[in-house]
Amino acid sequence: MNELSKFKGAQCPGTSYNEMLEGDSRPAPDYLFEESHRDMPTDPLPIEPYVSEEYAAEEREKLWPNVWLFAARNEELPNPGDQVVFEIADKSFVLVRQQDGGVRAFYNVCLHRARRLVDKAGNRTQMRCGFHGFTWNNDGSLKEIPCEWDFEHLKAKDMSLPEVRVNIWQGFIMITENDDIAEFEDWVGPVLEQYENYHLDDCFTAMWVQREIPANWKATSEAFMEAWHSVTTHPQLLPFLGDANTRYDLYGDNFNRAITPSGVLSPHIEGKDQTYILDKMAEFSGKGGDSRMRNLGNEDAIAKLDPNDPFLARKVLADANRQAFSERDGYDYSEISDSEMLDNFTYNIFPNFAPWGGHVPQLCYRWLPGKTADTCTMEIRVLMRTPKGEKTPQAAEKVIVPNDQPWSWAKDVMGEALANVFDQDMANLPHVQTGMKASANGVMELGAYQDSRVRHFNETLNKYMTGELPAK
């Protein structure tokens, strides 16, 4: 038995994702058919990395400076002189749009007595420290030292702001402190080509919310690496979500994906027909919700399809999306597969970045470690395609949900249905963190297939902790 068939055998019985792709009304791209799995260990995972301050300190030393990090989206700093602050794990960086359109990223620290140099985003001609007034130009060169007579000794010194590497990929401004690791595209690998159909460089941040989560950043991100918690945590999704049909694929060290089909019954539900799927999806989306739903009542569209087609609902919903997206942004989606119009392409780039693929309004997550191992910050964005011929809008302002409020506090920007799903995840996370601390044996047991992305993520992390990565 080869590795692949071993994993096929271990997947949920019933319709496979590839069978759904074969039932698509348009040819689905090859990379969706390709399974990329590998034999992974099944031994328990230690809990200590999730709860230990020493481990968090090691991450600050060995992990965060040595990976590519998603620092900002292009549309957060569209104009020369725009400055954005990105902070992670005690580090602070200021990203500055240059006159030539490029972006430079500097350590956001004054070289006098180390005050943080720029406190918040804005458009400025310079960076002036709020303490004694040392000032740098936007290209990082020193502009002015107040009371210069007192700093004769700095005259011959390079007082430019130290900077880090920048790589802009699909509108995401990626940075790394490490001068030796490969360029971002090579670091992740050819799998990044999967994004080429999805025009993320042409998208803008249409929604952006953030909340502190009382759980470790790894436990929080891992809660979004598998779909199989839906049966217990998000039961309202089962009528139209193939939670247990989800495909999990692992690529190299730094990328993995889950593809969760939409518009199909969960394998946990039996004896319901295609109309049930459509009705429940409409109910979930709500009146006045996503305009993709309006085709649901279109009996003519449904009548043209084979009533025995097991993927009728997928075809109806994908068509509704094609029409709605095209009306919204002016692009032609008529040749795009049902799968790419509908399914949840939850892609993760190590260690803390999840830019979804597909043509649905793309979700994009980022997790940032907290001040202690017991907290983190989670950000959720929705990226929408800039309407054809229009200038890319500025990124939506980030809405920060107060610590004592649920995500649905921001339901006006998130939409009620989406906010509720994240609140259901929130109902677990604080208890995951306290549960980990209360564990008798100090380990967790993982599913071989459905938790394989958690395993993969931990294997890569472990390579950083043991010095196997970054590659020298």
Chain residues that interact with ligand FES, rule: CB under 6 A? 110, 112-113, 115, 129, 131-134
Cα–Cα distance, 409 to 432 (Å, whole number): 23
Tell me the per-residue interface mask from 359 to 388 with Fe ion, x by CB under 5 A, - otherwise: ------------------------------
Q: Which does 286 bind (CB under 5 to 8 A by kind): ligand FES, Fe ion, none?
A: none
Tell me the per-residue interface mask from 405 to 444 with Fe ion, x by CB under 5 A, - otherwise: --------------------x-------------------
Longest dimension (CA), the chain: 86
**Is residue 139 near Fe ion by the rule CB under 5 A?**
no
Residues in the chain: 472
The minimum distance between CB 113 and ligand FES, in angstroms, equals 4
Nearer Cβ to ligand FES, position 134 or 187? Answer: 134
Cα–Cα distance, 262 to 285 (Å, whole number): 13
**Is the separation of the CB atoms in 7 and 449 below 8 Å?**
yes
R_g over Cα of the chain: 24
Q: Which does 95 bind (CB under 5 to 8 A by kind): ligand FES, Fe ion, none?
A: none
Cα–Cα distance, 187 to 35 (Å, whole number): 21
Q: Residues binding Fe ion: what is the number (CB under 5 A)?
A: 1
Nearer Cβ to Fe ion, position 57 or 427? Answer: 427
The minimum distance between CB 370 and Fe ion, in angstroms, equals 20
Nearer Cβ to ligand FES, position 124 or 132? Answer: 132
Q: Which phi and psi angles does 345 have, rounded to 5°? A: -100, 80
Nearer Cβ to ligand FES, position 113 or 388? Answer: 113
The minimum distance between CB 98 and ligand FES, in angstroms, equals 23
Cα–Cα distance, 349 to 254 (Å, whole number): 6
Nearer Cβ to ligand FES, position 134 or 464? Answer: 134
The minimum distance between CB 137 and ligand FES, in angstroms, equals 15
Q: Which residues pair with 153 in a beta bridge?
A: none
Cα–Cα distance, 219 to 62 (Å, whole number): 19
Query: What are the structure tokens assigned to 197, written together?
Result: 């159909």
The minimum distance between CB 98 and Fe ion, in angstroms, equals 40
Residue nearest to Fe ion (CB): 425
The minimum distance between CB 121 and ligand FES, in angstroms, equals 19
Q: Which does 38 bind (CB under 5 to 8 A by kind): Fe ion, ligand FES, none?
A: none
Nearer Cβ to ligand FES, position 91 or 294? Answer: 91
**Is the separation of the CB atoms in 47 and 436 below 8 Å?**
yes
Q: Which does 294 bind (CB under 5 to 8 A by kind): Fe ion, ligand FES, none?
A: none
DSSP 373: T
Cα–Cα distance, 440 to 374 (Å, whole number): 18
Using the structure block, give the residue that is written with the tokens 């449904």: 302
Q: Which does 425 bind (CB under 5 to 8 A by kind): Fe ion, ligand FES, none?
A: Fe ion
Nearer Cβ to ligand FES, position 113 or 124? Answer: 113
CA dihedral 455, 365, 246, 358 (to 10 degrees): -130
Q: Which does 110 bind (CB under 5 to 8 A by kind): ligand FES, Fe ion, none?
A: ligand FES
Q: Which does 115 bind (CB under 5 to 8 A by kind): ligand FES, Fe ion, none?
A: ligand FES
Q: Which amino acid is at 14?
A: G
**Is the separation of the CB atoms in 307 and 300 below 8 Å?**
no
Q: Which does 113 bind (CB under 5 to 8 A by kind): Fe ion, ligand FES, none?
A: ligand FES
**Is the separation of the CB atoms in 340 and 359 below 8 Å?**
yes
Count of C-beta atoms within a 10 Å radius of residue 376: 25
The minimum distance between CB 132 and ligand FES, in angstroms, equals 3
The minimum distance between CB 286 and ligand FES, in angstroms, equals 52
Nearer Cβ to ligand FES, position 8 or 115? Answer: 115
What does DSSP say about strands 126-128 and 135-137: parallel, antiparallel, or unpaired? antiparallel
Nearer Cβ to ligand FES, position 129 or 265? Answer: 129
Dihedral sign (CA 45, 457, 213, 118) = positive
Nearer Cβ to ligand FES, position 85 or 191? Answer: 85
The minimum distance between CB 138 and ligand FES, in angstroms, equals 17
The CA-CA-CA angle for residues 252, 257, 261, to 5°, reads 155
Using the structure block, give the residue that is written with the tokens 């005690």: 90
| Residue numbers at the binding site for Fe ion (CB under 5 A) | 425
